[in-house]
Amino acid sequence: MNPDLIWLGIGLTGQALFSMRFLVQWLASERQRRSVMPIAFWYFSLAGGATLLAYAIYRADPVFIIGQLTGLFIYARNLHLIWRERKRHARDGASEVSA
């Protein structure tokens, strides 16, 4: 199979993953009747961004590479903050139960 076609498929898959984050965010907001940012938004951002970064590296596009690297840092940082907050809430909730 042609490597260029494989990489085109990877690039399109990354774009589809990246686009899913908007659908997930919109549906979650509609359900709650207010603007919300579900954790799935950040997972789709990370998966799509990582896949698009691989495609950008293959294409040797420095502008695209820099853009995706920057985005990946932000998505990972948001997930880290969410995990840290959940861990703190779990710890605080366990402390309240045992007190």
Which domain does 27 fall in, by range? 3-98
Q: For residue range 22-78, what is the model confidence (pLDDT) as tens digits?
A: 999 999 999 999 999 999 999 999 999 999 999 999 999 999 999 999 999 999 999
Residue 19 has pLDDT above 80, yes or no: yes
Given this model, what pLDDT does residue 42 score?
Answer: 96
Residue 45, class by beta-carbon neighbours within 10 Å (0-12 exposed, 13-18 middle, 19+ buried)? Answer: buried
Q: Domains in the chain: how many in total?
A: 1
Global model pTM greater than 0.85: no
